[in-house]
A and B are shown apart, each in its own frame.
Chain A
Amino acid sequence: MIKTPRFLKRGDLMAMVALAVLLVVILPMTLDVFRLNLVAKYLTYAFVAIGLVLCWGMGGILSLGQGVFFGLGGYCMAMFLKLEASSVANTKIQSTPGIPDFMDWNQITQLPLFWQPFHSLTFALIAVVVVPTAFALLVGTAMFKRRVGGVYFAIITQALAAILTILIVGQQGYTGGINGITDLRTLKGWDIRSDHAKLILYFVEVACLFACIVVAILIRNSKLGRILVAMREKEDRVRFSGYNVANFKIFAFCAAAAFASIGGALFTLEVGFMSPSFVGIVPSIEMVIYTAVGGRLSIFGAVYGTLLVNFAKTSLSESFPQLWLFGLGALFIAVVLAFPNGLAGIWRDYVQVHLVRLIFRRRPPPGAVPGWTDDSVADAAAAE
């Protein structure tokens, strides 16, 4: 009578196969390398969106500063790549050869101490995840232990995004300033700028994305996932059921930060540079919009939402550059007002119902529909 949550539910598996067919077969076969690289860039935001599903959709913790973690992950990766690109041979025209070019322009004559360990790829890869997650742990502990939540938390994360941007821009000699860290060339001697490399990086990224999706599904299907939903509903009830609510919030926030950081590092690899324009307030809010459009309760919805909004952004801003921001704002308002569960909600309420009827030739008993996009408890209940 009571269904035990299995490792992966049937609906999740079907959704995973559908996404895999799209990302691994259809898109690489139909798009040229330039367009595929655009998709790769969009997908890096999907990592952030998945994190936001856990943190915001399920846990109710709205972070408007995910760009911070995306950026920190991206910068950790960029620092390694920049050091590799700044070999003594490559930089012999500088007054101090062997350091990144922007340092040389800013009259810095020695590699700063915090840059030193980024000569090691292993260190850089660990730092990509550990630095942003540790920062999230610090911020989360400071906020949630003091019971700062809701709008106040959102505003503080927003401020963090602004602060980090200003810090990066201001400390030009150490960070590359407003231009960011550019002119990245090779990864352990492998040229990341070639078409072939971009294709391989795309598939590496898709593999990472699926790994993150599986982790997110496992978290959602565990009791911890249900506690996150419970916390969003009645925080006090959870607290007075013997849980330390702050710790669960910190976990959700850190998990979202870790996902975002992986996306950031992949962004650096795919696009070939990292700059403060991916850290600040605007990109952070855009990331929340991707999640909202996809459906903030649906892990797969977040991926599709990210892809669709970015496609729209690229095609619209190519033809009507001034209109795009208004379009994005209107989209967000429309989603919030009319479709609070986003694309995933529309899919479940309008498309899936007809599909199931078509396939099974009968009306399925309520509750027996295999969840296609998402059959999280929260989602099912929200449909009522």
Chain B
Amino acid sequence: MAIGFKQREFLLAVEGLTVSFDGFKAVNDLSFYVDENEIRVIIGPNGAGKTTVLDLICGKTEATSGSIQFRGKELTKMNENEIVLAGVGRKFQTPSIYDDLTVFENLEISYPRGRTVWGALAFKRDAAVRERVEAVAEMIFLKDRLDTSAELLSHGQKQWLEIGMLLIQDPDLLMLDEPVAGMSVSERVKTAELLHRIIKDRSVLVIEHDMKFVEDIAHKVTVLHQGQILSEGSMEKVKSDPKVIEVYLGH
């Protein structure tokens, strides 16, 4: 299978990552690696530091120590927008969309062109933009709502819209924070179907509580507890780990 001894390159390498808020270590000496095209799910009880890990990767929170390497680039030294340009996309836990803009405009803003002030002034809504927006809108089940103001969408549709905004960015690493939380059963099924389609050709880091959903999509699961890794591996391995059962799954 492998020819030669080329060192294995990870897409994302988190090493010794620590962040402390007034002495409280929300993430404590955390290390994990994500491969190209891998779907990694992070689970863990409330307050385990899951969202903080995503915040650290996308630059929202500054690390106290440790490193985050993405394709050989050190993310801890970069601005949020530079991290996005490097290829990391992030979906927030509560749908984070622009209520006062239409669905089309929401998607258009994420189109990866004209991101500087002058670029945005000169930006033209050409055929390429329109096709891409329409294609993504179809994927996220909102093709006939393009001219609707985003605030009129249902909760589930808002979640899809934000996922769509990330798809337009076409990131190499997609980070999703509880993508099915608060969704109805039918919306959940549709979202799972949507995620299965969009996780091709990219790596995905997902935080999720819905174990059925996790089992369905995860290649590998990382269990966090008090800012540290409790267990890591396939879903079967993690599920049978007594430590995990005690702090998380047992409840």
- Give chain A's interface residues, CB within 8 Å of chain B: 1-5, 219, 222-224, 226-227, 229-230, 232-234, 236-245, 247-248, 251, 367, 377-378, 380-382, 384
B114 within 8 A of A: yes
Q: Decide if B98 touches A242 in the complex (CB within 8 Å).
A: no
Contact of B115 among A222, A234, A243, A384 (CB under 8 A): A243
> With the chains together, A226 CA to B149 CA distance in Å?
13
Pick from B92, B114, B116, B149 the residue with the most CB of A within 10 Å: B149
- Give chain B's interface residues, CB within 8 Å of chain A: 58, 60, 79-81, 84-85, 89-90, 92, 96-102, 104-106, 108-110, 112, 114-117, 120-123, 125, 130, 146-147, 149-152, 162, 165, 169
Q: Decide if A2 touches B101 in the complex (CB within 8 Å).
A: no
Q: Decide if B120 touches A223 in the complex (CB within 8 Å).
A: yes
9 pairs, A vs B, C-beta closer than 8 Å: A4-B125, A222-B120, A224-B120, A227-B120, A240-B60, A241-B165, A243-B120, A244-B116, A247-B117
Q: Decide if B151 touches A248 in the complex (CB within 8 Å).
A: no
Pick from B100, B105, B110, B123 the residue with the most CB of A within 10 Å: B100
Q: Decide if A384 touches B112 in the complex (CB within 8 Å).
A: no
Q: Decide if B130 touches A247 in the complex (CB within 8 Å).
A: no
Contact of A241 among B79, B101, B110 (CB under 8 A): B110
Q: A2-B147, A223-B108 are in contact. Are A233 and B121 (CB under 8 A)?
A: no
Which of chain A's residues have a CB closer than 8 A to the CB of B116?
244, 247
Q: A2-B104, A377-B101, A377-B105 are in contact. Are A248 and B96 (CB under 8 A)?
A: no
> With the chains together, A242 CA to B110 CA distance in Å?
8
Among residues of B, the one whose C-beta sits closest to the C-beta of A242 is B84
Q: Decide if B58 touches A230 in the complex (CB within 8 Å).
A: no
Q: Decide if B109 touches A2 in the complex (CB within 8 Å).
A: no
Q: Decide if A239 touches B146 in the complex (CB within 8 Å).
A: no
Q: Decide if A239 touches B149 in the complex (CB within 8 Å).
A: no
Q: Decide if B152 touches A240 in the complex (CB within 8 Å).
A: no
Q: Decide if B108 touches A226 in the complex (CB within 8 Å).
A: yes
Q: Decide if B92 touches A226 in the complex (CB within 8 Å).
A: no
Among residues of B, the one whose C-beta sits closest to the C-beta of A228 is B120
B75 to chain A, nearest CB (A): 13
Q: A223-B120, A240-B58 are in contact. Are A1 and B146 (CB under 8 A)?
A: yes
Q: Decide if A236 touches B102 in the complex (CB within 8 Å).
A: no
Which of chain A's residues have a CB closer than 8 A to the CB of B98?
229-230, 233-234, 237
> With the chains together, A378 CA to B151 CA distance in Å?
11
Q: Decide if A237 touches B104 in the complex (CB within 8 Å).
A: no
Q: Decide if A381 touches B147 in the complex (CB within 8 Å).
A: no
Q: Decide if B100 touches A378 in the complex (CB within 8 Å).
A: yes
Among residues of A, the one whose C-beta sits closest to the C-beta of B144 is A1
Q: Decide if A377 touches B165 in the complex (CB within 8 Å).
A: no
Which of chain B's residues have a CB closer than 8 A to the CB of A243?
81, 115, 120
Q: Decide if B81 touches A242 in the complex (CB within 8 Å).
A: yes
> With the chains together, A238 CA to B100 CA distance in Å?
14
Q: Decide if B99 touches A381 in the complex (CB within 8 Å).
A: yes
Q: Decide if A224 touches B115 in the complex (CB within 8 Å).
A: no
Which of chain A's residues have a CB closer than 8 A to the CB of B169?
241-242
> With the chains together, A230 CA to B165 CA distance in Å?
13
Contact of A384 among B101, B109, B114, B149 (CB under 8 A): B149
> With the chains together, A160 CA to B26 CA distance in Å?
40
Which of chain B's residues have a CB closer than 8 A to the CB of A4?
125
Q: A222-B121, A229-B101 are in contact. Are A241 and B109 (CB under 8 A)?
A: yes
Which of chain A's residues have a CB closer than 8 A to the CB of B104?
2
Among residues of B, the one whose C-beta sits closest to the C-beta of A247 is B117
> With the chains together, A265 CA to B192 CA distance in Å?
61
Q: Decide if B108 touches A241 in the complex (CB within 8 Å).
A: no
Q: A236-B60, A236-B96, A381-B101 are in contact. Are A219 and B121 (CB under 8 A)?
A: yes
Which of chain A's residues have a CB closer than 8 A to the CB of B99?
233, 381
